[in-house]
Every structure is written in structure tokens, then in C-alpha cells.
């Protein structure tokens, strides 16, 4: 099955309370930093100040529908949690001039000093805290969209042909990854400081 390797620790947990794109414009003000996350087969819930807030893709969120179409409005059980890396934000900041940590709306950000590929996370990942291990599986690349790329370029009117090379830069995991729960049926807790592991 392979050995496990620690990549780093979680430095940011956040949720978005609605879909990030409205009228073709990417809106970072919809991001909310939270103290911890509950992850279940229904999706992500953010906890802040004793209040539980549904993440926009949660099955019970009022804007969601169940199915496999209209992905931005759809609950997909194999796409529950998104994650990114501080190293990727460093690369994005170098490319675009600025990239605020978490602006791509990943649920968790892991501190790590190298770029991470899909191949490295596709065999499964774990989030650990003491003896608690959360198994995550089915990693996919979080595909960058045109509005997010324009957001990083600082101009929502950038023509799509000029957006294309920058969007390609954000692909292949630079903009993050999405996973589902492997074997958990009850909610699991994720918080800043938890460790992120991959198969070596």
C-alpha cells in the first residue's frame, strides 16, 4: 500500500457561503475564515464563534441541487473538500503580482514549500491530528475558470484569448485539488494545525 509522508500542516480553514461567481465576476468577499470545519458525506460546514455555516456546495445549502450537471450549483459527493498549498500561492503571486492566501476558495490551505502534482495526491491523502486519521480519496484538479483568472489579472474585461495562457498556468493543481471522503460516514473535524499526509 505504500508508506505515508507528511507534507505540512493546515494554516487556513475557510468556506464560501455562496457560489463565487456572480454575473461573470469572481467575488472574494464571499470567503469566510473559520475556526474549524466539519466534513461529512453531505459536504463542508464551517464553525466560527459557535455558529455552524453551510459551505456553498453542501448538500443542504439552499442553492444546491443533486445531480451531475450544472457543477457550480450541484452537490457532488465525490467532490467534498478542496485544498491548496502555500507554495502554489507563492507561485501565483510571482506570476500575477499578487495572490492573497486562500483567494482561490479552497477549504483548507497546507503550508508546504514545493509544488504538488495530481500524481502525488491521487493515491489518497490523510489529515491527521494525534491518533485521529481522516482518509480522503479520489483527488481531482480544481479547474481554473475564466472569471478567477481575470480576478488575478485584476481586470474582469480581459479578452479570453489573453486569459488563456494565464488560465493554463493555473491548471494541473496550481489552483488546488478536490477530494471526497474515503471511509467516513459520520462528520469529522478539521482545524488549523492538523497535519496533511500523502502516500510516499
Helix axes 146-153, 86-96, angle to 10 degrees: 60
CA separation for the pair 98, 39 (Å, rounded): 30
Q: Which residues make beta-bridge pairs with 182?
A: none
> Percentage of the chain with pLDDT > 70?
90
Note whether 83 and 165 are within 8 A (CB): no
Note whether 63 and 19 are within 8 A (CB): yes
| Domain parsing of the chain, residue ranges | 4-199
CA dihedral of residues 192, 197, 198, 200 (deg, nearest 10): 150
| Neighbouring residues of 30: CB distance < 8 A, sequence distance ≥ 6 | 16, 17, 18, 20, 56
Higher pLDDT, residue 78 or 90: 90
Q: pLDDT digits over 138-171, tens only?
A: 999 999 999 999 999 999 999 999 999 999 999 9
Alpha-carbon separation of residue 50 from 35, 55, 145 (angstroms):
9, 16, 34
pLDDT of 73 over the 60 cut: no
pLDDT band at 74 (very low <50, low <70, confident <90, very high): low
CATH number of this structure's domain 4-199? 2.40.33.20
Amino acid at each position: 500500500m505504500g508508506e505515508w509522508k507528511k507534507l505540512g500542516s493546515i494554516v487556513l480553514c475557510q468556506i464560501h457561503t455562496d457560489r463565487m461567481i456572480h454575473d461573470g465576476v469572481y467575488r472574494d468577499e464571499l470567503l469566510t475564515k473559520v475556526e474549524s470545519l466539519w466534513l461529512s458525506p453531505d459536504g463542508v460546514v464551517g464553525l466560527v464563534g459557535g455558529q455552524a455555516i453551510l459551505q456553498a456546495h453542501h448538500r443542504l445549502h439552499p442553492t444546491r441541487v443533486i445531480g451531475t450537471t450544472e457543477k457550480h450549483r450541484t452537490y457532488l459527493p465525490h467532490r467534498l473538500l478542496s485544498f491548496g498549498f502555500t507554495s502554489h500561492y507563492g507561485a501565483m503571486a510571482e506570476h500575477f503580482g499578487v495572490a492573497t492566501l486562500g483567494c482561490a476558495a479552497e477549504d483548507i490551505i497546507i503550508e508546504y514549500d514545493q509544488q504538488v502534482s495530481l500524481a502525488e495526491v491521487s493515491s489518497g491523502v490523510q489529515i491527521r491530528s494525534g491518533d485521529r486519521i481522516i482518509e480522503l480519496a479520489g483527488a481531482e484538479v480544481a479547474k481554473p475558470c475564466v472569471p478567477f483568472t481575470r480576478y488575478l489579472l485584476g481586470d474582469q474585461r480581459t479578452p479570453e484569448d489573453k486569459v488563456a495562457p494565464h488560465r493554463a498556468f493555473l491548471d494541473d493543481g496550481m489552483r488546488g485539488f478536490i477530494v471526497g471522503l474515503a471511509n467516513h460516514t459520520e462528520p469529522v473535524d478539521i482545524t488549523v494545525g492538523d497535519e496533511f499526509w500523502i502516500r510516499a
